[in-house]
Amino acid sequence: MSKEFISPAQFARVDEVYQDAGELTPAQIAELNELYEGVSAKLRVGELVQGTILAINSDYILVDISYKSDGMIPRYEFTEYEARELVPGASIDVILDELENNDGAITLSYEKAKTLKAWDAITKLFDENKPVEGVVTRTVKGGLSVDIGVPAFLPGSQVDTQRVANFEDFIGKKIIANVIKINKKRGNVIISRRKYLSERQAEMHQEIMGKLHVGQVVQGIAKNIAKYGVFVDIGGVDGLLHITDMTWGRISHPSKLVKIGDKITVQVLSIDRENNKISLGMKQLAQNPWQVLTETIQLSSHVKGRVSSITDYGLFVEIIDGVEGLVHISEISWTERISDLNTRFAVDQEIEAVVVSLDKDNRRMSLSIRQLTDNPWKSISTKFQVGQVIKGQISNITDFGIFIQLIPGVDGLAHISDLSWTRHIEHPRDLYQIGQEVEAAILSIDENAKKVSLGIKQLSQDPWGTIETEYPVNSIVEGEVSKITNFGIFVKLPNRIEGFVHISEFEKEHKKPEELVKVGDKRQFRIASINKDERKISMSLDLEGTSSHTSMRSKPAAGTANRPAKPATASAPKDREHKQEYKPEHKAEYKEHSKEQLKKISTPKIATKSSLQLALEKHAEERDKDTTKEITKE
């Protein structure tokens, strides 16, 4: 049900009772008119007047404007922030909307007065390039709405000099910004807080830069932290505190000493006024500990310290506060090769070391752990000599040889090529085991390089030294097929030396090697040639040597003078038979055949010899591939 408003005239009637006081004199009437016209002249509708706040309630603000009655301003014309600032007795500018409305009341407008004053002020500030103050009322698309007397738009990109994550944080806050665009006709105002802050920072920067000088000690706040240092705000100007200027010691990251927001005391190290750069330092406020090292920390002295950090190349050890030394990885042990220091040491571990070098000016100290003990290599030359036969346990086995312990901490290497004169070894592990005790001869000692070369095959005589007398060329020997390849076969002789039979020997039979022999077969072979320098023996399946030249057959090889005469072959009768059947009509054919035979006899078998040589070299390369590979590594 709607409410019905009843006026007083509907339910009450007043009978006016008055006593005639008489008529006013003309002078009184004139005075009264003058007073009324004077007040009316001062208060005109639409003009800006100043009043005093009398009372405040939830609906209206009662204001005295020096008129016969007080004016009222609707509460909704004030923002929440403005309403909180209202107090009785305060002055306020308003626009007179009506002197008397239907109810006889004076109507005032604060909003119109604020807008009128605001546009004048905004236009003046814009012309003079001065900032304006306002309150952020709400967020809008693309930015914020700010009350500066009239609603103004603050774009999101102009809120701050840095990126703003949440615009809601600015609602209800007072801000100062520059007016960058106005359109009074449309009622549009665009402001920029970023421009105002940038100009203020530039002014403060120039002011502070003018006051700063090198060596000055100032207070600052850690503003940002990077891996190379800390940016410190020293009164509106940022300076860089580099990580190397934070402490005389060594730290892995600036956050180990400083956190964002910390108040720190720094010293100005340098000022670049052209590029607006300031370098700051913290360690310069304390005495350089390198210059006050105690006498106990000298060259060759023993020191104790804490491992402050571990790198791939060594350990950093803090001896005293601000003084660190480096133990290079090569100074850890005389004999061990350490690849990962983290397996042996830990940060904050207490260790002892020897000072091997000290440079106070450059703040460098080199330490050594291995020099705490005697160098075992110094006694090697006195205890061992080249050619000496030693006995020791195998400490390690690699693909290139075996390590044999000479004394604790010192091992010698017997290379795979020095394990056997004749045997082809794929891997030393096939013959030896770790912990096995073996004998070896010392081949060389290099104290500077910390290397001792050993040999096991040198304990026995080299069979190649007597090979020519033991197995003369063209002698018949028994051997065992040890390997079959696509270019020939290898034959092991009784003295364990291997000889080679080229593939061409099998091609005469029009068969492949594997069709005639198998690995492990024993049969007789003829020594075709010996190359003692290259340690190669060429062998043949032809025990009679019929594939050789006639001149070669006529000359017995050395060591075969007492050999029984070779049995006659069936080729001679056939030759005689062939000669007996010769007829004149065969003259041309016989002549051509003789030329071919002569050509074969007079032409050296270069191709056969070359292919044999290549085969032997290939086998040698295959046999020594591990040795060659390791030599290349070394």
Which tokens in the block code for residue 388?
Answer: 């000496």
**CATH class of domain segment(s) 212-285:** mainly beta
Q: Inform me whether the pLDDT recorded for 112 exceeds 90.
A: no
pLDDT for the residue 584: 43
Question: pTM to 2 decimals?
Answer: 0.39
Average pLDDT over residues 133-138: 90
pLDDT for the residue 247: 85
pLDDT for the residue 188: 87
pLDDT for the residue 284: 86
Looking at domain 129-198, which CATH architecture does it have? Answer: Beta Barrel (2.40)
pLDDT for the residue 631: 39
User: What does the alpha-carbon distance between residue 485 and residue 502 come to, in Å, rounded to a whole number?
Assistant: 10
Average pLDDT over residues 578-597: 42
Residue spans of the domains in the chain: they are 31-113, 129-198, 212-285, 299-372, 376-459, 463-558+604-620
pLDDT level of residue 619 (50, 70, 90 thresholds): low
User: What does the alpha-carbon distance between residue 270 and residue 285 come to, in Å, rounded to a whole number?
Assistant: 15
Give tens-digit pLDDT for 509-532: 788 888 888 988 888 899 889 888
Q: Find out whether 158 and 125 touch, Cβ atoms under 8 Å.
A: no
Of 233, 367, 251, 221, whose CA–CA distance to 298 is shortest? 367
Give tens-digit pLDDT for 266-302: 999 998 888 888 999 998 888 777 777 777 788 888 8
Give tens-digit pLDDT for 439-483: 999 999 887 788 899 999 888 887 887 788 888 888 889 998 988
Q: Residue 85: which region, alpha, beta or left (left: phi > 0; alpha: psi -120 to 50)?
A: alpha
Q: Inform me whether the pLDDT recorded for 357 exceeds 80.
A: yes
pLDDT level of residue 42 (50, 70, 90 thresholds): low
pLDDT more than 90, % of the chain: 12
Q: Inform me whether the pLDDT recorded for 314 exceeds 60.
A: yes
pLDDT for the residue 31: 62
| Angle, CA of 146, 174 and 54, to the nearest 5° | 95
Q: Inform me whether the pLDDT recorded for 579 exceeds 80.
A: no
Looking at domain 463-558+604-620, which CATH architecture does it have? Answer: Beta Barrel (2.40)
Give tens-digit pLDDT for 486-514: 889 899 888 778 889 998 888 877 888 88
Q: Find out whether 350 and 306 touch, Cβ atoms under 8 Å.
A: yes
User: What does the alpha-carbon distance between residue 452 and residue 386 come to, in Å, rounded to a whole number?
Assistant: 9
- CA torsion sign for 431, 435, 441, 442 is positive
In DSSP notation, 291-305 reads GG--TTS-TT-EEEE
**CATH class of domain segment(s) 31-113:** mainly beta
Lowest model confidence (mean pLDDT) among 306-320, 363-377, 477-491: 363-377
Domain 212-285 shares a fold with domain 376-459: yes
pLDDT for the residue 556: 39
In whole numbers, what is the pLDDT of the chain averaged over residues?
A: 77
User: What does the alpha-carbon distance between residue 402 and residue 433 come to, in Å, rounded to a whole number?
Assistant: 9
- CA torsion sign for 21, 23, 25, 30 is positive
pLDDT level of residue 328 (50, 70, 90 thresholds): very high
**Which residue type does 350 have?**
E
Which tokens in the block code for residue 78?
Answer: 């004030």
Which tokens in the block code for residue 45?
Answer: 């509708």
Which tokens in the block code for residue 215?
Answer: 């060596």
- Quickly count: other Cβ atoms within 10 Å of residue 89's Cβ: 7
Task: Say which DSSP state 165 is in.
Answer: S
User: What does the alpha-carbon distance between residue 194 and residue 186 come to, in Å, rounded to a whole number?
Assistant: 24
φ and ψ at 506, to 5 degrees? -90, -25
pLDDT for the residue 192: 92
pLDDT for the residue 471: 85
**Helix and strand tally (H, E) in the chain?**
14, 30
Instruction: Assign a CATH topology to domain 376-459.
Output: OB fold (Dihydrolipoamide Acetyltransferase, E2P) (2.40.50)
Give tens-digit pLDDT for 219-248: 999 989 999 999 998 877 889 999 988 888
Q: Given the structure tokens 């004030």, which residue do they identify?
A: 78
Query: pLDDT: is 306 or 251 the higher one?
Result: 306
Q: How far is Cα of residue 37 from the mean position of the Cα atoms in its chain?
A: 89
Q: Inform me whether the pLDDT recorded for 355 exceeds 60.
A: yes
Q: Inform me whether the pLDDT recorded for 151 exceeds 80.
A: yes
Q: Inform me whether the pLDDT recorded for 130 exceeds 80.
A: yes
- Quickly count: other Cβ atoms within 10 Å of residue 616's Cβ: 23
pLDDT more than 70, % of the chain: 78
Interaxial angle between packed helices 606-623 and 625-633, expressed in degrees from 0 to 180 and rounded to the nearest 10: 60
pLDDT for the residue 550: 33
Q: Find out whether 443 and 386 touch, Cβ atoms under 8 Å.
A: yes
φ and ψ at 38, to 5 degrees? -65, -45
**C-alpha neighbours within 13 Å on the C-beta side of residue 97:** 16
Query: Which pairs count as long-range contacts for 39-44, CB under 8 Å and 24+ apart, including other chains?
Result: 39/67, 39/68, 40/99, 42/66, 43/67, 43/96, 43/99, 44/96
Q: Which CATH number fits domain 299-372: 3.60.70.12, 3.90.180.10, 2.40.50.140, 3.40.50.10440?
A: 2.40.50.140
Q: Find out whether 162 and 175 touch, Cβ atoms under 8 Å.
A: no
Integer-rounded Cα radius of gyration of the chain = 56
User: What does the alpha-carbon distance between residue 162 and residue 194 come to, in Å, rounded to a whole number?
Assistant: 9
Task: Say which DSSP state 69 is in.
Answer: S
pLDDT for the residue 611: 54
pLDDT for the residue 563: 43
Measure the N-to-C terminal CA separation of the chain; round to a whole number of Å. Answer: 108
Q: Residue 435: which region, alpha, beta or left (left: phi > 0; alpha: psi -120 to 50)?
A: left
Who contacts 319 (Cβ-Cβ below 8 Å, separation ≥6)?
297, 303, 304, 305, 325, 365
pLDDT for the residue 234: 86
Beta bridge mates, 270 = 279
Burial of 62 (0-12, 13-18, 19+ CB in 10 A): middle
pLDDT for the residue 242: 93
Give tens-digit pLDDT for 155-178: 989 888 888 888 888 888 898 999
